[in-house]
Amino acid sequence: MAYHSSRIPTIEALSTHSRLWAIAIATFGVGDLLTTVAFLTAELNHEGNPLAVAAIDHFGLWVLIPWKFAVFAAFVGLYRLAPESTRVGVPLGLALFGSLLTGWNIYSSLTSARIVL
């Protein structure tokens, strides 16, 4: 692994898997969560996932944080169980899904769709 002079790994030193996990965290973990919370709080959208609606109604909007952690834990478990040759598909799929969800949340808040996922 390549290091900067301060012994911190550089971006170039990160593996493809690490980069994809970082993108998955940014899109699915942060992007989707922030857009969902922001648009539901501002009442610009309505939640489209019936399980999430039930959880939010019962526990409040911030139940989405532990929900995201649980989903990430499940995907990390799947990543560890997947054969090494196909393992990269787990963070790749989560990154793509997170990008789709974040994009949909933004799109639906700016149009008449008004449903976040």
pLDDT digits (tens, 9 = 90+) for 54-105: 999 999 999 999 999 999 999 999 999 999 999 999 999 999 999 999 999 9
Whether residue 117 contacts residue 33, with contact meaning beta carbons closer than 8 Å, is answered with: no
Q: Which pair of tokens denotes residue 110?
A: 């700016």
Q: Where are the domains of the chain?
A: 15-116
**H and E: helices and strands count for the chain:** 5, 2
Rg (CA), the chain: 17
The model's pTM: 0.82
For 111, the enclosing helix (H) or strand (E) is: none
Residue 9 Rama label (left phi>0; alpha psi -120 to 50; beta): beta
Residue whose pair of structure tokens reads 């560890």 in the numeric block: 80
**Separation of alpha carbons 59 and 81, rounded Å:** 32
The pLDDT of residue 113 is above 90? no
